[in-house]
């Protein structure tokens, strides 16, 4: 029987998707990235060795896995080639296990120039990886796709037109000059293309014909989704389940038998600007940042930290139609005497538990908290339910009951092995499906 799994971020990204996808990929044949680009930073730690993947699907770290860079991604070929070579340099065979969509759009150097310029007026706090401008060009029908590179004359002409447009924008709107050179840009992109050309294919057709198991790896998180997140403080793709079909080119029906799981930290973080109702700007926030090592895997920026927000997670459950939730970084809460969880928002005397669309509302909501007694015991590296203090179990039970969705797995440290199942999935052969609570 065909079985697929979708792993999404339930919060504002950096939930630990990389760690989770890596360990789950052991059970899958194919790993697919389908939206976003090198703004993602997915960390995996194996035997003390750290890998951060930006463009390649995390699952590709397993020798048996085929990795797919699907059409909804915006691909910076220089970084893709760099990532490929870095991993091969570390002894992993990647090239012949990779497929790259011929329909994927490119991130070009002028997109990065524009990303910086746009940030000067109305800061979003982007990763400056050219993601927003690349999607702007895609939807403005000025994009260059991987398949265009097969025709160097067409590529040259598209780059030329785009550069002229960007030049005008820089000069006339921002009163700036850029130092981008057409010939150099063209030569470089053709050079990078040569390196990956043998792996370019119609990945939609390939996936439609493939009969094994596929894991779809979301990047960013539901609250950064262009439609369902805290717009305009979002990324420029559908980072929720909404992005699966357009990101892969697969019909919505394809996913009707898939499992949809999302990853959340046991608290909350966000990097960049934008609403964050449960943010802690005091020493507790600092404690979370230091204990959790909350510094961006892509940009190194300190992440904003706060208590877990169940209004946000409920939004994620609904938008993504979640079948399960994976909780990470429980161990980071080990040192807290009191742990709070947001269960509703209050605004002008009204209490509600749905995530509002409008920024002006969001900037004024006050979180309503439920307080939990901290466990003040080490849970780092716990490998079974029985190793958890009862206070931690109460915390987990409350989250599950509130959301009405099973907690399927708990991650208790960054290492691949530091986790355990709370509900064993049916596909794990030889092991009975059992539920802890
Ligand atoms: P992603 O973007 O969702 O893949 O997450 P990142 O890799 O950007 O950030 C998650 C960080 O938390 C990484 O440094 C991981 O190594 C680390 N991490 C993941 N799970 C755990 C956990 O259960 N406990 C602790 N302490 N760290 C974790
Ligand atoms: P992973 O996959 C956390 C944030 C940026 C900024 C906003 C827009 O590692 O979870 P962009 O460069 O995409 O235009 O920036 O989105 N952002 C992320 N935050 N994790 C990510 O990816 C992110 N990718 C983008 O900080 O606020
Ligand atoms: Mg990340």
Around Cβ 137, how many Cβ atoms within 10 Å? 25
Question: Could you tell which of 33, 43, 269 is best to mutate to test the pocket of ligand 1, judged by most ligand atoms within 8 Å of the CB?
Answer: 43
What was the pLDDT predicted at 298? 78
Phi, psi (degrees; rounded to nearest 5) at 215: -110, 125
Nearest ligand, CA 335? 1
Annotated catalytic residue within 22, 27, 29, 42: 42
What was the pLDDT predicted at 434? 55
What was the pLDDT predicted at 299? 82
Around Cβ 37, how many Cβ atoms within 10 Å? 31
Annotated catalytic residue within 14, 22, 148, 225: 14
Cis peptide leading into 232, omega within 30 of 0?
A: yes
Residue pair 77/210 in contact (Cβ under 8 Å)? The answer is: no
Nearest ligand, CA 220? 2
Question: Could you tell which of 19, 59, 287 is best to mutate to test the pocket of ligand 1, judged by most ligand atoms within 8 Å of the CB?
Answer: 19
Please, where in the chain does CATH 3.40.440.10 lie?
4-101+199-255
Structure tokens at 234: 């979002």
Nearest ligand, CA 43? 1
Please, where in the chain does CATH 3.90.170.10 lie?
264-421
Index of the ligand 2 atom closest to the CA of residue 132: 14
Index of the ligand 1 atom closest to the CA of residue 19: 19
Whether 105 is catalytic? no
Q: Measured between alpha carbons, how far is 210 from 7 in angstroms, rounded to an integer? A: 19
DSSP code of residue 81: H
Whether 315 is catalytic? no
Q: Measured between alpha carbons, how far is 4 from 255 in angstroms, rounded to an integer? A: 8
Please, where in the chain does CATH 1.10.300.10 lie?
105-195
Q: Please report, in tens digits, the pLDDT of each residue of the chain (437 residues total).
A: 568 999 999 999 999 999 999 999 999 999 999 999 999 999 999 999 999 999 999 999 999 999 999 999 999 999 999 999 999 999 999 999 999 999 999 999 999 999 999 999 889 999 999 999 999 999 999 999 999 999 999 999 999 999 999 999 999 988 888 889 999 999 999 999 999 999 999 999 999 999 999 999 999 999 999 999 999 999 999 999 999 999 999 999 999 999 999 999 999 999 999 999 999 999 999 999 999 999 987 788 899 999 999 999 999 999 999 999 999 999 999 999 999 999 999 999 999 999 999 999 999 999 999 999 999 999 999 999 899 999 999 999 999 999 999 999 999 999 999 999 999 888 776 554 556 66
> 105-195: what CATH class?
mainly alpha
* CATH topology for the 264-421 domain: Adenylosuccinate Synthetase; Chain A, domain 3 (3.90.170)
The residues near 425 (Cβ < 8 Å, ≥ 6 apart) are 259, 408, 433
Cβ(235) to ligand 2 under 6 A? yes
For the entire predicted model, the pTM comes to 0.97
> 4-101+199-255: what CATH class?
alpha beta
What was the pLDDT predicted at 426? 81
């Amino acid at each position: 029987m065909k079985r697929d799994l979708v792993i999404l971020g339930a919060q504002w990204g950096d939930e630990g998707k990389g760690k989770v996808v890596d360990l789950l990929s052991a059970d899958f044949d194919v790993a697919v990235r389908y939206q976003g680009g090198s703004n993602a930073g997915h960390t995996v730690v194996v035997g003390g060795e750290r890998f951060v993947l930006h463009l390649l699907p995390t699952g590709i770290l397993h020798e048996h896995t085929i990795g797919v860079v699907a059409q909804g991604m915006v691909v910076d070929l220089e970084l893709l080639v760099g990532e490929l070579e870095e991993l091969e340099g570390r002894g992993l065979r990647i090239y012949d296990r990779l497929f790259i969509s011929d329909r994927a759009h490119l991130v070009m150097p002028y997109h990065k120039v524009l990303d910086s310029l746009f940030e000067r007026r109305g800061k979003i706090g982007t990763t400056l990886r050219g993601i927003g401008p690349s999607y702007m060009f895609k939807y403005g029908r000025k994009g260059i796709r991987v398949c265009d590179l097969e025709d160097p004359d067409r590529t040259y002409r598209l780059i030329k037109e785009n550069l002229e447009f960007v030049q005008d924008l820089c000069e006339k709107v921002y009163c700036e000059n850029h130092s981008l050179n057409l010939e150099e840009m063209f030569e470089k992109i053709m050079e990078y293309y040569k390196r990956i050309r043998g792996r370019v294919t119609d990945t939609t057709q390939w996936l439609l014909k493939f009969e094994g198991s596929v894991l779809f790896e979301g990047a960013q998180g539901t609250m950064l989704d262009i439609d369902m997140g805290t717009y305009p403080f979002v990324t420029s793709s559908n980072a929720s389940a909404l992005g699966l079909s357009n990101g892969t080119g697969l019909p919505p029906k394809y996913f009707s038998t898939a499992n949809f799981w999302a990853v959340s930290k046991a608290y909350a973080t966000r990097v960049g600007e934008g609403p964050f109702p449960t943010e802690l700007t005091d020493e507790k926030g600092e404690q979370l940042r230091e204990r959790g090592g909350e510094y961006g895997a892509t940009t190194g920026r300190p992440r904003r930290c706060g208590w877990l927000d169940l209004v946000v997670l409920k939004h994620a459950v609904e938008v993504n139609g979640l079948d399960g939730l994976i909780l990470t970084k429980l161990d980071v809460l080990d040192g807290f005497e009191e742990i709070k969880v947001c269960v509703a928002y209050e605004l002008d005397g009204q209490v509600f538990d749905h995530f509002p669309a409008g920024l002006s509302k969001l900037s004024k909501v006050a979180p309503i908290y439920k307080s939990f007694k901290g466990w003040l015991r080490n849970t780092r590296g716990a490998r079974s339910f029985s190793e958890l203090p009862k206070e931690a179990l109460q915390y987990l039970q409350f989250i599950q009951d509130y959301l009405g969705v099973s907690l399927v797995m708990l991650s208790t440290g960054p290492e691949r092995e530091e986790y355990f199942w709370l509900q064993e999935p049916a596909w794990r052969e030889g092991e009975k499906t059992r539920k802890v609570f």
